[in-house]
């Protein structure tokens, strides 16, 4: 196992900034997901950890050892890519054994390690098969097996299952997490898929525009996002943002919701702290669709509107509600029956509101 530490790591390709001031720590045996849109710098970070890209500035440590000037081979890591890179003329067994054969290991060690890896990956039925005769999911398992037999201190996964169909992705997500628990090895998993990141990682590093935006647990990312990018990029259905104006009447604070013709009184200490820290009268309010309390009863409701669209999903329904031309997304239980044009009432629980700076988009209460 190995702890991974990045200190002020930057990478430039000429004048193009790929990543800037990355500070990140991954504990021994931890599974870290790096999540972000295409081009945000997440794969570049992983390639620098692997030694496939040089570091423009900053330091990378693996197992307490500075590795900036070490080759990939000297870092004792294993990488799994989207491309399986299997040898078509070799069997499944031979493909998995290949790095051990190249390292001139004994036949006994090769047999022992490959057999163990194949047992873990449930590949016994295709031992003698060639890549052309096995499924895409099995091909990726072979690639993972080839990494396992090397006994690395660190596994790096670069979007290894993004090209597979939804059922295979689900199976391999579970497989990789199970392997990590069995091997107790540090793993870093790069993906643009929030479902993969949230379900697999002990913690998630969210990147955008070459910067690390937030590093935290699933609940920290969802319930206390560092800024509007993290709040909007992570979460499905996506968060609702509502511009709001802080009003103060003799010490009684409330939020006037722009465009909704509604006002929310603020009474909780957390909310009052946010409005005092806002540094102005304008903020951006955030509330996740599953936090909105919806009812067919419109009396004594903070906001009322009309159902514009209903998306029927397996576990819940997603309603689009029009409020004076503003669209709100609401995650409603299956038991809540709604039709187009139905009038509904909504409350925004104060304890679940998120408060963002109107200009910069930073979470006003982040770190508080």
pLDDT of residue 1: 62
Tokens of 332: 């409603």
Per-residue model confidence as pLDDT tens digits over 290-330: 999 999 999 989 999 999 999 999 899 999 999 998 999 99
Distance CA 179, CA 117 (A): 10
233, 254, 286 - which closes a domain: 233
Kindly give the parts of the chain with pLDDT less than 70: 1, 368
Percent of the chain with pLDDT over 90: 80
User: Which CATH number goes with the domain that contains 297?
Assistant: 2.40.50.140
For Cα atoms 207, 243, 208, give the angle at the middle one, nearest 5 degrees: 10
Parent domain of 305 = 240-357
Residue at 190 is within a domain: yes
- Do 175 and 318 have their domain in common? no
CB 182 within 8 A of CB 122: no
- Do 288 and 250 have their domain in common? yes
pLDDT of residue 351: 94
78: Cβ contacts below 8 Å, ≥ 6 apart = 147, 148, 150, 152, 154, 155, 156
Residue at 259 is within a domain: yes
Long-range CB contacts (within 8 A, 24+) of 99-102:
99/146, 99/149, 99/150, 100/149, 100/150
Tokens of 258: 């722009």
pLDDT of residue 368: 65
Bridge partners for 249 per DSSP: 252
pLDDT of residue 346: 96
* Total domains, the chain: 2
Tokens of 59: 């330091």
CB 207 within 8 A of CB 41: yes
Per-residue model confidence as pLDDT tens digits over 17-58: 999 999 999 999 999 999 999 999 999 999 999 999 999 999
41: Cβ contacts below 8 Å, ≥ 6 apart = 11, 18, 19, 22, 207, 209, 210, 211
- Going by C-alpha positions, the residue among 129, 183, 124 that lies closest to residue 152 is 183
**The whole model's pTM is what?**
0.92
Distance CA 271, CA 254 (A): 10
Residue at 367 is within a domain: no
Distance CA 221, CA 239 (A): 13
Distance CA 110, CA 96 (A): 9
């Amino acid at each position: 196992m190995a702890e991974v530490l990045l200190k002020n790591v930057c990478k430039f390709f000429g004048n193009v900034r790929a990543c800037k001031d990355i500070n990140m720590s991954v504990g021994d045996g931890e599974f870290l997901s790096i999540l972000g849109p295409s081009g945000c710098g997440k794969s570049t970070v992983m390639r620098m950890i692997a030694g496939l890209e040089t570091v423009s500035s900053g330091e990378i440590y693996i197992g307490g050892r500075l590795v900036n000037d070490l080759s990939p081979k000297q870092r004792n890591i294993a990488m799994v890519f989207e491309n399986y890179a299997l040898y078509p003329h070799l069997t499944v067994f031979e493909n998995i054994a290949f790095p051990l054969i190249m390292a001139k290991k004994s036949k006994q060690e090769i047999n022992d390690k490959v057999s163990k890896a194949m047992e873990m990956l449930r590949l016994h039925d295709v031992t003698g098969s060639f890549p052309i005769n096995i499924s895409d999911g099995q091909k990726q398992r072979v690639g993972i097996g080839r990494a396992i037999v090397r006994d690395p201190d660190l596994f790096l996964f670069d979007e290894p299952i993004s090209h597979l169909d939804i059922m295979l992705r689900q199976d391999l997500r579970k497989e990789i997490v199970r392997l990590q628990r069995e091997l107790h090895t540090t793993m870093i998993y790069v993906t643009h898929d929030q479902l993969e990141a949230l379900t697999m990682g002990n913690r998630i590093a969210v990147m955008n525009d070459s910067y690390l935006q937030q590093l935290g647990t699933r609940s920290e990312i969802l319930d206390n996002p560092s800024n509007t990018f993290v709040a909007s990029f992570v979460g499905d259905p996506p968060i609702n943002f509502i511009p709001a104006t802080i009003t103060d009447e003799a010490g009684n604070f409330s939020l006037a919701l722009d465009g909704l013709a509604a006002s929310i009184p603020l009474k909780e200490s957390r909310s009052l702290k946010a409005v005092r820290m806002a540094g102005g009268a304008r903020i951006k309010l955030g509330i996740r669709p599953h936090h909105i309390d919806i009812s067919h009863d419109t009396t004594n409701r903070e906001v009322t509107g009309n159902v514009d669209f209903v998306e029927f999903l397996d576990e819940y329904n997603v309603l689009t509600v029009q409020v004076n031309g503003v669209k709100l997304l609401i995650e409603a239980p299956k038991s809540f029956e709604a039709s187009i044009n139905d009038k509904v009432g909504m409350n925004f629980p104060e304890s679940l509101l998120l408060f963002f700076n109107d200009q910069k988009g930073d979470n006003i209460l982040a770190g508080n």
